[in-house]
Amino acid sequence: IAGITQAPTSQILAAGRRMTLRCTQDMRHNAMYWYRQDLGLGLRLIHYSNTAGTTGKGEVPDGYSVSRANTDDFPLTLASAVPSQTSVYFCASSDRANTEAFFGQGTRLTVV
């Protein structure tokens, strides 16, 4: 793989179910991010990690959790999905906090 990869590409999920969105990068970037993108709104930061072993809350963290056990992986977990979490989720990474971010191809999640 080259760059940043997300899985799955799309998913339909029953409300109340637990779901983990996977994100892996092979660029050895220190910083990683999870965003959600909804129609008419800008990308909104859910959680971020400036380096392996650390995480932080973004603008809309409620209902989501993350972990950063190593440099490459940054999974996002929905503990108990609700319909308002229907969105397109993008994982991104950057070499440092002040450089451009590279995005994965996105995960389209529908909670019914």
- CA 91/CA 80 separation, integer angstroms: 20
- What angle (nearest 5°) sits at the alpha carbon of residue 5, between those of residues 105 and 98? 80
Q: Does 98 bind other proteins (CB under 8 A)?
A: yes
Site string for other proteins, 25-44 (x = CB under 8 A): --------x-x----xxxxx
Q: Which is nearer to other proteins, 33 or 74 (CB)?
A: 33
The stretch among 17-25, 62-70, 72-80, 99-107 that binds other proteins (CB under 8 A) is 99-107
Site for other proteins in 44-83 (CB under 8 A): 44-45, 48, 58
- CA 20/CA 18 separation, integer angstroms: 7
Q: Which is nearer to other proteins, 71 or 107 (CB)?
A: 107
- CA 78/CA 19 separation, integer angstroms: 5
